Copies of this chain bind each other. A is one copy, B any other.
Amino acid sequence: MKNKQLPNGASVKSIRRLSVYRRILSRLIEEGVQTVRSHDLAESAGVTAAQVRRDFMALGYRGSPNRGYSCRDLFTSIGDFMGTNVPVKAVLVGVGNLGRAILGYFDTRSVNIKIVACFDIDQQIVGSEIFNCYCYPQANLERILKRRPVPIGIIAVPFRHAQEVADRLIAAGVRGIMNFAPATLHVPEHIYVEDMDFTASLETISFYASHGMLVHQD
């Protein structure tokens, strides 16, 4: 897909940074911090202060000169913008080692992301509950998503099946996909895919680790 144009001008990269700022804010709030300056957020997030302020232009949220931003208000504002103040729902397909770890990850860590169902083809797994998530037969994917539509699908199946699973998820109404399979998915323009490509990431790290040059923190 080509690039989107948000009303304002938020790119994929800035959206991702907003998510990171929000996490930092949540920790600051826990610590009882009231306000934060763009400079502080920049330091915590590993970016420049100008970048932070630029990213906030998209939100419409405005700080106060000489004081910075209210942690609580900014947190809410980012959540409103990103839609993460209400829990985000997803389904997962493929309950192997990795799928299980993903279920565990989101079960523990975040209140605002909820994997509401998972699917597998293995009869040993189907019918059981893994990290508070019931496992349905993969054949029933369409039926279940029809009854309870979910906007996001997480693919953790072997790469040979990834495209087929993606097609079925999309047909069942999913709009965004988190793809852990080492395969490039071919999807319609309006579907957003984020690849979690462990091998490509590790090989990229390897390249820079061995060529020892200065480099850009992801």
Contacts and interface: CB of A to CB of B under 8 A. Distances in A.
Interface in A171-214: 174-178, 182, 184-187, 189-214
A124 to B, nearest CB: 17
A156 to B, nearest CB: 9
A148 interface: no
Contacts of A67: none
Contacts of A90: 202
Contact of A214 (B23, B97, B185, B190): B190
Interface in A131-151: 151
Interface residues of A, number: 77
A154 B22 CA distance: 25
A217 B193 contact: yes
Given A46-B186, A203-B19, A196 B194 contact: no
B218 A83 contact: no
A50 interface: no
A84 B106 CA distance: 32
Interface of A: 1-6, 12, 15-16, 19-20, 22-24, 44-46, 82-84, 88, 90, 96-98, 100-102, 104-106, 109-110, 113, 151-152, 154, 174-178, 182, 184-187, 189-218
30 contacts: A1-B216, A1-B217, A3-B215, A4-B213, A5-B213, A6-B211, A12-B216, A15-B207, A16-B204, A20-B184, A82-B203, A83-B206, A83-B207, A97-B101, A100-B101, A113-B203, A151-B210, A152-B206, A152-B209, A154-B202, A175-B208, A175-B212, A176-B209, A178-B202, A178-B205, A190-B214, A190-B215, A193-B217, A193-B218, A194-B218
Given A19-B203, A83-B207, 6 more contacts: A16-B200, A82-B207, A96-B104, A100-B101, A113-B199, A152-B202
